Structure 1
Amino acid sequence: MTKKPWISLPIREGIHSRQAHCDLPKNTYERELGREGFFGPVTQMHHRHPPTGWTSFEGPLSPRAFDLLKMDNHVSNPWELSPFLFNENTHLRLWTLSQSMDHLVRNSDGDELLFIHQGQGDLFCDYGHLSISEGDYLVIPRGSAWRLETQTGLTLLLIENRDGCYRFPDKGFAGYNAVYDPAALDYPRINDQFLNQQDENHWDILVKRLDQVTRITYPFNPLDAVGWHGTNTVVRLNWRDIRPIVSHSYHMPPSVHTTFIGQDFVVCTFCPRPIESDPGALKVPFYHNNDDFDEVLFYHKGNFFSRDQIEAGMVTFHPCGFPHGPHPNALEKSQNNPATFTDEVAVMVDTRRPLHISDNAKAVEIASYANSWKTTGQEPS
């Protein structure tokens, strides 16, 4: 008996391309109807009109965009922040830390994935010391005590994995070293900087459990380890160490950019890469439904080649239930004057369970975003 949980019948009907995302029939728009986050059964539909050519969008199911840098997120510890998007498996927060922490924090609800959007500094944790800077991911296992020091200030995207450990993606036939070589991962060291911060002063650990905070006070610095061994630790990866899988003749699906896997969600990183050069290949993300996942994109830096008027620090949110894809101007440019390289850096979170929007995110929403796919009409402001 097959292990595949779906019916698989490759069928061709009407006017269609020979392969997905390549050599589309003239005057048609391709839309992918996919399941299981680009890993399940899939159909390429060919339309006379853009699948995002709506004239209005009313109701709670709508494409959303938020300018997160307008939120009041300057706090001394991350547990003071409400998530801007959340479900049973993950909470997403944006945190601005203006000065070094004078206490420790511990998450007993799940693993934390920190992405450094701006700034540089130092991480001190149970396992030792790590320098951190813009573009770093930090995977912090559940139950770890940690704090950050900074002279410049830090802005961080926090992605909480509330049920299970973060894991590496299955790289399949691409091999163990594909996308990023595990040898590029760094871990904390018990170095002089770590040993020198150990003292006999009073220290607090703020522990988050069931989203409630408990303060535990010690008459010494609990980060007093002198050594350790094992496989459970903090790891650091910078997006510059990611080597995207690309093809000159085929636009790769977002799943090929998977960086970490959480419980019922994935974290992907879009990095600078050459754009497809084959004349018949689609050169922007294809219209798609992705009907089992909600999609969140945090824009870190660069020119976001498939979006208009999106800047660093913004987030777009596309819940499953409607097609989305490139903005009209980006699609037209890709057809008439295609670029050869994209320098964008963005973090994508795809969640199996529906995400909820918090009130603080609604306060910084770009209300006209749903209209931004119109060929005429109001653009985001």
Structure 2
Amino acid sequence: MRNWIRFPTAQGTHSRQAHADFPEQGIYEREIGRNGFFGPATHMHHKHAPTGWSDWQGELRPRAFDLNLLEQQDYEVATTSPFAAPVILHNAHCQYRFWKCDQPMQKLARNADGDDLLFIHEGHGSLFCDYGHLPVEKGDYVVLPRSTMWRLSPQSPMQMLLIEATNDAYQLPEKGMVGGHAIFDPAVLDTPQIDQTFLDQQDENTWQVEVKRHQQLSCITYPYNPLDAIGWHGDLSVVRLNWRDIRPLMSHRYHLPPSAHTTFVANRFVICTFVPRPIESDPGALKVPFYHNNDDYDEVLFYHEGDFFSRDNIEKGMVTFHPAGFTHGPHPKAFAAGQQHAKKFTDEVAVMLDTRDALYTGDAAKAVENPAYVKSWQATE
């Protein structure tokens, strides 16, 4: 535990509690916080929206990438190898890729650099791995432990996020006083099966395994299919979780921070999932994400499906990137709708990556960036 400097105090006109019952002249609340949403924090009340900038110069800016615009020729190799999928964002502890796979992988993959997390954005198919056969479909998370051998056989064209925990492992978040069965019961985690489909794919043909280590590839050739297990036992495995099995924490009187929606954790970043839920109904409660400075983390959101209630002109398959260092929050129309309680329920599904270390933008992302996104907080009539 860190011994933060703390001196709780208050000045001027302010609400008694965070995210509720704002003063009439200070409806624009801004949270300044440390260590994600777990450290000391102050809640400011402003006359104007903290995102009301009129101009922006320099590289530190909110960015949006439309991954739907990635050209198919960029994937001529990537369709058969996840390691060739273009890097959207990266740092020393994380690689964030987008992969289109529309045909069976011709080689097995093994990532010796860290755990991989797949999020299936489109399509369905079969995953074959050391542990057996696992059907996968749209909306699935699949955790692949470091150095697992695997291959994917799509039954319809697939699009996926690949998020590598470089030199690290994925774990489940601490759920504290709500208990281990909250958000999702571990009983819903599925593992691969040594079923007939898995046994039928075993053969004596020549197979190759691409191994990635230190971000370089090696190729190992076998005179047989190395996915030849006949059984296993233990508590380490590939696991699958579908977002539909997530039952989000919520309060009708308080807008919970993004950390309440944490799904997986690594040492230097977290993965959160936003799924449909009722919107806060208490008259004084904030009903949209609060303006905030998450000054220790970069924030990335992938929009999977639905109506993204805090954003304008965002469609599924897009990514927004908000580096640490400036205030961000809802767009003006979304904030106004929240004030009017125009919506009673969210129907969005989005995957959030929050990284403790600064992320860098890959060339593929720069090619599909919307440069006007930085201006999207400017109020329009």
Normalising by structure 1, report the TM-score. Answer: 0.97
Q: Is the 8 A contact 2:86 2:98 kept in 1?
A: no
Equivalent residue number for residue 353 of structure 1? 357
Following superposition of structure 1 onto structure 2, how do residues 195-344 of structure 1 map, counting pairs within 5 Å? 195-344=199-348
CA distance in 2, matches of 1:313, 1:171: 30
- Asked if the contact 2:126–2:155 (Cα under 8 Å) also holds between the matched residues in 1, the reply is no
Aligned to 1:176: 180
**Partner Cα distance (2:315, 2:44) in 1:** 31
- Deviation of the 1:344 alpha carbon: 0.1
Give the deviation of 1:70 after TM superposition: 1.2
Counterpart mapping for 1:67-106 below 5 A: 67-72=66-71, 73-74=74-75, 75=78, 76-106=80-110
Amino acid in the other structure paired with 2:143: V
* Equivalence for 1:55: 54
Q: Deviations over 1:253-291 (max 9, x none)?
A: 000000000120000000000000001000000000010
Q: CA deviation at 1:337?
A: 4.3
**Partner Cα distance (1:50, 1:247) in 2:** 25
* 1:172-206 Cα deviation digits (max 9, x unpaired): 00101011100010001101000000000011111
Contact 2:188 2:241 survives alignment (8 Å) = yes
Flag structure 2 segments of 5+ consecutive residues without an equivalent. none
SS in 1 for 2:371: coil
Offset of residue 5 of structure 1: 2.4
CA RMSD of aligned residues (A): 1.0
Write out aligned runs for 1:7-156 (5 A): 7-28=5-26, 29-72=28-71, 73-74=74-75, 75=78, 76-156=80-160
Aligned-partner residue type, residue 55 of structure 1: S
Q: CA deviation at 1:98?
A: 1.1
Cα shift at 1:10: 1.3
Q: 2:165 aligns with which of 150, 161, 168?
A: 161
**For the residues of structure 1 that align with 2:238 and 2:85, how far apart are their CA atoms?**
22
Q: CA deviation at 1:82?
A: 3.2
Distance (Å, rounded) in 2 between the aligned partners of 1:125 and 1:70: 31
Task: Give CA-to-partner distance per residue, 1:289-339, whole Å, 9 cap, x none.
Answer: 010000000000000000000000000000010000000000011112421
Give the Cα separation in 2 of the matches to 1:56 and 1:249.
Answer: 36
In the alignment, the residues of structure 1 paired with residue 81 and residue 288 of structure 2 have an alpha-carbon distance, to the nearest angstrom, of 39
Residues of 2 paired with 1:10 and 1:4: CA distance? 17
Note if contact 2:275-2:349 (Cα within 8 Å) is conserved in structure 1: yes
Tell me which amino acid in the other structure corresponds to 1:334: G
**Distance in 1, Cα, partners of 2:265 & 2:329:** 23
Secondary structure of the corresponding residue to residue 183 of structure 1: helix
Counterpart position of 1:192: 196
Give me the whole-angstrom Cα distance separating, in 2, the residues matched to 1:15 and 1:60. Answer: 35
Measured against aligned partners, the alpha-carbon deviations of 1:83-102 in whole angstroms (never above 9, x if no partner) come to 11000100000000011112
**Paired amino acid for 1:44:** H
Answer whether contact 1:94 1:156 (CA < 8 A) is retained: yes
Whichever residue aligns with residue 90 of structure 1, its letter is C
Contact between 2:184 and 2:247, CA under 8 Å: does it hold in 1? yes
Greater Cα shift, 207-216 or 318-327: 207-216
User: Equivalents in 2 of 1:258, 1:295: separation in Å?
Assistant: 13
Secondary structure of residue in 2 paired with 1:370: helix
Show structure 1 runs of 4+ deviating over 6 A.
Answer: none
- Identity, % of aligned positions: 59
- CA separation in 2, counterparts of 1:116 and 1:312? 13
- 2: CA distance between counterparts of 1:18 and 1:280? 12
Q: Secondary structure at the match of 1:44?
A: strand
Counterparts of 2:32 and 2:184, CA distance in 1:
29
Distance in 2 (alpha carbons) for counterparts of 1:4 and 1:262: 19
Contact 2:86 2:99 in 1 (8 A): no
| Cα contact 1:267–1:347 (8 A) shared by 2 | yes
**What amino acid is aligned across from residue 11 of structure 1 in structure 2?**
T
Is the CA contact 1:283–1:338 (under 8 Å) kept in the aligned structure 2? no
Residue 295 of structure 1 aligns with an amino acid whose one-letter code is: E
Q: 1:345-379, CA deviations, whole angstroms, 9 ceiling, x for partnerless residues?
A: 000000000000011111100000000000039xx
Q: Please tell me whether the aligned partners of residues 287 and 341 of structure 2 are also in contact (alpha carbons under 8 angstroms).
A: no
Deviation of residue 121 (structure 1)?
A: 0.4
1-side partners of 2:164 and 2:202: how far apart?
28
Bigger CA drift: 3-12 or 23-32? 3-12
Length-normalised TM-score, structure 2: 0.97
Q: Take 2:168 and 2:326, find their aligned partners in 1: how far apart are those partners?
A: 30
